[in-house]
Amino acid sequence: MLAMKIIRYSFLILAVLSLGGWWTTRRPASPTDDLPKVWYAAFELTGNALERGEALKAEVLTWEGITAANFNAKSALLTVSAAATLSESTVLNRLRASAGPQIQQKVFSTTGPQCPVPASLIAHLPGYLLVAGLFFGGISLLTLLKKSQFAGTKKKTHINFNI
């Protein structure tokens, strides 16, 4: 009897924890979902283009579809954020037309430590938690129903060893 109580409450606790985990990991609607999509790129400046970095940044900011730009003189990088309607090659061609061929797109290394948890698992975690919560909640309900269904129907059996 005690073992059944422990199992019942264990399933109930697992159900509450799983549903609580699902509730905290679900993604509510974000105000940024309605904003247009953008992309980011960095362009390396050398030669004459390096000297014109700030002026080039100001010029890029006037182009249609560019949402932000910044120039860092120490790293000689011009970073650009643009609407998804513009392609990176279009921006690079316009930069080269303005400042010459000394502009190259910066390609950052993708080597290094990687996350040990697969991204697909992280994306599906709320769904897994919801299923686990419903599963354990269902088992808890079944154990409660089973208990109430047979409550009061216990029969005492007497064995008579009179020979």
Query: Model pTM?
Result: 0.53
Whether 4 shows a pLDDT value over 70: the answer reads: yes
In this predicted structure, the answer to whether residue 68 has a pLDDT above a threshold of 90 is yes
**What letter does residue 52 receive in the DSSP assignment?**
T
pLDDT in tens, 31-46: 877 788 899 999 888 8
* Each residue's pLDDT tens digit, 86-105: 888 888 888 888 877 778 88
Q: What pLDDT, on the 0 to 100 scale, is given for residue 9?
A: 84
* pLDDT number for residue 151: 55
Above 70 in pLDDT, residue 120? yes
Q: How far is CA 116 from CA 121, 123, 124, in A?
A: 11, 14, 16
49: helix, strand or coil: helix
**33, two tokens:** 């979902």
CA distance 63 to 80: 11
